[in-house]
């Protein structure tokens, strides 16, 4: 049973990561901001390999920031 819930969470995180990447690509923001968002997505992806629940929380925060128009500073 534990394995099934883990697989469901993995699928959810994977689908949401795809959605987040698509949203970041479509944003009309300076390239530096887009790169900073892409780095955040890479961090979430890396976290998913070690701690799926933490990756899901990070992704939730990132998606909320995107929804509310809060973007990181570009380099």
In sequence order, what DSSP letters do the residues of the chain get, joined into one string?
-HHHHHHHHHHHHHHHHHHHHHHHHH----HHHHHHHHHHHHHHHHHHTT-HHHHHHHHHHHHHHHHTT--PPP-
Q: Could you tell me which residue, 2 or 25, shows the higher pLDDT?
A: 25
pLDDT of residue 1 exceeding 60, the answer is no
* Between 22 and 1, the higher pLDDT residue: 22
Q: Report pLDDT for 26.
A: 95
Q: What is the pTM of this model?
A: 0.83
6-58 residue pLDDT tens: 889 889 999 999 999 999 999 999 999 999 999 999 999 999 999 999 999 99
* Residue 13 phi, psi (nearest 5): -65, -45
């Amino acid at each position: 049973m534990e394995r099934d819930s883990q697989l469901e969470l993995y699928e959810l995180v994977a689908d949401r990561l795809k959605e987040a990447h698509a949203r970041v690509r479509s944003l009309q923001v300076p390239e530096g901001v887009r790169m900073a968002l892409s780095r955040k997505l890479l961090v979430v992806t890396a976290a998913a390999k070690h701690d799926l629940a933490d990756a899901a929380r990070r992704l939730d925060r990132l998606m909320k920031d995107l929804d509310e128009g809060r973007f990181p500073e570009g380099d």
